[in-house]
Chain A
Amino acid sequence: MAPISQTHPSPIWHMGDAIQALCDKFGAHGPFADLFSLMGQTDLDKIRHVATSVWGTDGQHSGQVAGSLLAVQHDLSYAAHDATPSWTGDANKAFAGSMDNLAKFFGTAGQDACDVGETLKKFADDADVSIGDGVAAVTGLIGAVVGALAGLAAGAITGPGDPVAAVVGAIVGLIIGLAFAYFGTLLPKIANCLSDMTDLAGQEPPTFKE
């Protein structure tokens, strides 16, 4: 398991620092340092691991939570029908009916736990694809920008009044604009996945009704 900055290595994760350094050079204080680096810290593999191993994503390969709840469903069903062959009559029928209801409830709860796992996994997979595609598309460009920004911040130009600085600033601004536009399209995709989880957060786990 590794953060995105390692699974999708790119200079883009350091671009915030480069922009911030340039802003500092001109006495501006934009909150850019975190913009590009924070996303790179996210560990999508860890999210996938929790989704599959802890929650579970389907009936066959269920994680700890869904797997346990589905196993309880099986155990209760066994307890209702197969564990007491000598027991017959009305009391047994009432007992079996009650345990069947409970077993059915645990089946529902297990499926709901799978839904949580699947939402987490989908978030990680979608984010992985979006970031992978996006980073691959802009890495060459961003590498040049980060180098240019670092040079500017190091004092290659004197300040905003310098005509060279104006031209370079316009070019850098254009490229920064592209980077922002890139994030402007990437973030909504990731936000959509987060929205799925937000919707899930509004749903309580099932409660048993006799």
Chain B
Amino acid sequence: MSPTGYEVLAEELTADAKTVRGAADKVDKAQSGLRNDGTLPTLDPFGRALGSCLAAFYAVPLVGLDLPFTKYIQDGLQSAVDTYEKALGVDPYPPIRNAWIEALGNYSKLVRTAAKKVDDTATTYQQQEDKVTGSFQNIHAGGGGS
């Protein structure tokens, strides 16, 4: 017996929901990869080097380097400090990574919600088929009359 239109639809939508759930799994995998492999402890030394440079800048006169070019050195370092002061002591990467780990969790929920809607649609069509089939069964069950 060939499947009815509703059955075909329900099967296609069930398969479609599986595709969408698979997409959500990909997002989960990306989140897991970012959480496990996306750390960058190696940026930290840069931040500390910048902090050390700033400390050294203020310490130069204290260690006897009060020479004619000290001013030149200080000016050069001051421009360096001015440039990176905004990022000084702060590694900008962890907040980026953390925000994305959280966002990927939300993306996964979003796709799973879409998958559930597709599943629900498949169920709706399946129920319509059952209803139709059921009505036929009722006819047959009560069809022995007159």
Does A associate with B in a complex? yes
How many A-B residue pairs have C-beta atoms within 8 angstroms? Tell me.
217
Q: Is the CB of A50 within 8 A of B40?
A: yes
Q: Is the CB of B87 within 8 A of A194?
A: yes
Q: Is the CB of B92 within 8 A of A86?
A: no
Complex Cα distance, B33 from A67, in Å, reads: 12
Main secondary structure of the interface of A (DSSP, over half): helix
Q: Does A129 contact B (CB under 8 A)?
A: no
Q: Is the CB of B30 within 8 A of A65?
A: yes
Q: Is the CB of B80 within 8 A of A188?
A: yes
Please give the distance in Å from B73's CB to the nearest CB on chain A: 5
Indicate whether A109 sits within 8 Å of B30 (C-beta atoms), given known contacts A50-B40, A86-B8. Answer: no
Point out the residues of chain B lying under 8 angstroms from A102, CB to CB.
110-111, 114
Q: Is the CB of B83 within 8 A of A188?
A: yes
Task: Give the residue name and chain of the A residue nearest to B24 (CB).
Answer: A72
Q: Is the CB of A71 within 8 A of B26?
A: yes
Q: Is the CB of A32 within 8 A of B83?
A: no
Beta-carbon contacts under 8 Å, B24-51 to A: 24, 26-27, 29-30, 33-34, 37-40, 42-43, 45-46, 48-50
Task: Give the residue name and chain of the B residue nearest to A34 (CB).
Answer: B52
Q: A83-B19, A91-B121, A191-B80 given. 15 additional CB < 8 A pairs? A: A28-B64, A31-B55, A65-B34, A72-B26, A72-B107, A75-B19, A75-B22, A76-B23, A84-B12, A173-B65, A177-B65, A180-B76, A183-B80, A192-B83, A205-B99
**Chain A contact residues, CB within 8 Å of chain B:** 3, 23, 26, 28, 30-32, 34-35, 38-44, 46-47, 50, 53-55, 64-65, 67-69, 71-72, 75-76, 78-79, 83-87, 91, 95, 98-99, 102, 106, 109, 113, 116, 120, 160, 169-170, 173-174, 176-177, 180-181, 183-185, 187-188, 190-192, 194-195, 197-198, 200-201, 204-208
